[in-house]
């Protein structure tokens, strides 16, 4: 099985990504890193511990990651998306205080250690800012040739962004870090808005979880309904909420869910187009581009798999 590290800013779709990862038979989740974004990094780690407890997987360690963007200029704009994910990041649904604490080791060191231990078998799945991965590369540049893949939720290549016409939220939290990761030799699979806006979940599905009559089913239905309500307000043209982060986990397990364009990419860091993910003009003839950008998705097959995995998980918890 593929060894995976999730790197989450544990908001609502991150919580679904975590549930998907523990349920996926082809993935061996070795740890969960935390990032800032939907809320602060310590809060994200606490939410991951809560969700793991809710779904009965208290064996998976959680590591706190970097708390701020890599460039100090942006310290004044530590952004938290309480308006989309609720004050507590999980739709203001109350879950018990977790029995466990995060590990003493930090997320960046855990990534470096795992890269040396598992090499090409390791996939890192960031669903928040790329600050932790960039920090790991900076601390130990050798890991770019060790790690199998970084399968990230972020960016937009063929559609507009969701925080500005140019930028998607995760990338715009730390465009400098994203540019480091995209332009390094490390192979990235970008699961961006191009595909995540096409995988949607509605209250019909969350009701199926509630109907299971279990605690996990009920809590997840409440958490995700909060997200569906916000989506209805913000994006009235969409039928449901986007499965941004869980789609990245799906692609890590089964890359055939998406069709990709292989292309070297850069991330704009100038003020005007901050966070734009775009092809690199200077490397268009590279025979081995370092990014595979997802541009099409088999949404029906993905949604079916998503519902199978999560329903089975919630059924027993």
**Interface residues for Ca ion in 78-137 (CB under 5 A)?**
127-128
CA max distance for the chain? 56
**Cβ–Cβ < 8 Å for 199, 303:** yes
Contact mark string toward ligand BDR, 154..173, x via CB under 6 A = --------x-----xxx---
The one of Ca ion, ligand BDR, none whose footprint includes residue 162, by CB under 5 to 8 A per kind, is ligand BDR
Compute the distance between CA of residue 178 and CA of residue 134 in angstroms, rounded to an integer: 7
**Cβ–Cβ < 8 Å for 290, 187:** yes
117: how many CB neighbours lie within 10 A of its CB? 12
The answer to whether residue 81 forms part of the interface with ligand BDR (CB under 6 A) is yes
Residue of 122, 244, 257, 263 interacting with ligand BDR (CB under 6 A): 244
146: how many CB neighbours lie within 10 A of its CB? 17
The one of ligand BDR, Ca ion, none whose footprint includes residue 39, by CB under 5 to 8 A per kind, is none
The answer to whether residue 127 forms part of the interface with ligand BDR (CB under 6 A) is yes
**Interface residues for Ca ion in 4-33 (CB under 5 A)?**
9, 14
Q: Is the dihedral of CA 42, 46, 51, 55 positive or negative?
A: positive
The one of Ca ion, ligand BDR, none whose footprint includes residue 168, by CB under 5 to 8 A per kind, is ligand BDR
Compute the distance between CA of residue 39 and CA of residue 79 in angstroms, rounded to an integer: 8
The answer to whether residue 35 forms part of the interface with Ca ion (CB under 5 A) is no
Q: What is the DSSP letter of 288?
A: S
Q: Residue numbers of the site for ligand BDR (CB under 6 A)?
A: 11, 13-14, 38, 81, 84, 127, 153, 162, 168-170, 244-245
Which residues are at the interface with Ca ion (CB under 5 A)?
A: 9, 14, 127-128, 245
């Amino acid at each position: 099985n593929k060894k995976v590290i999730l790197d989450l800013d544990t908001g609502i779709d991150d919580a679904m990504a975590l549930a998907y990862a523990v349920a996926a038979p082809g993935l061996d989740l070795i740890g969960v890193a935390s990032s800032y974004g939907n809320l602060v990094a310590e809060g994200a780690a606490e939410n991951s511990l809560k969700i793991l407890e809710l779904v009965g997987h208290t064996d998976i360690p959680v590591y706190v990651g970097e708390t701020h963007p890599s460039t100090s200029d942006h310290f004044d704009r530590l952004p938290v998306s309480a308006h989309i994910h609720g004050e507590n990041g999980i739709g203001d649904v109350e879950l018990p205080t977790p029995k466990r604490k995060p590990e003493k080791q930090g997320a960046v060191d855990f990534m470096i250690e795992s890269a040396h231990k598992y090499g090409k078998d390791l996939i890192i799945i960031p669903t928040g800012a790329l600050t932790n991965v960039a920090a790991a590369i900076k601390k130990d540049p050798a890991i770019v040739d060790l790690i199998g893949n970084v399968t990230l939720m972020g960016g937009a290549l063929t559609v507009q962004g969701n925080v500005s016409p140019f930028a998607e939220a995760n990338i715009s939290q730390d465009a400098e870090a994203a540019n480091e990761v995209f332009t390094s030799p490390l192979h990235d699979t970008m699961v961006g808005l191009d595909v995540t806006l096409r995988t949607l979940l509605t209250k019909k599905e969350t009701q199926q979880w509630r109907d299971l009559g279990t605690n996990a089913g009920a809590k997840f239905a409440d958490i995700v309904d909060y997200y569906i309500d916000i989506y209805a307000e913000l994006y009235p043209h969409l039928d449901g909420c986007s499965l941004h982060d869980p789609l990245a986990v799906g692609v890590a397990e089964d890359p055939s869910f998406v069709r990709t364009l292989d292309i070297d990419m850069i991330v704009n860091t100038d003020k005007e187009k901050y966070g734009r993910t775009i092809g690199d003009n200077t490397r268009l003839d590279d025979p081995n581009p370092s990014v595979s950008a997802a541009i099409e998705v088999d949404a029906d097959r993905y949604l079916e798999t998503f519902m199978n995995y999560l329903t089975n998980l919630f059924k027993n918890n």
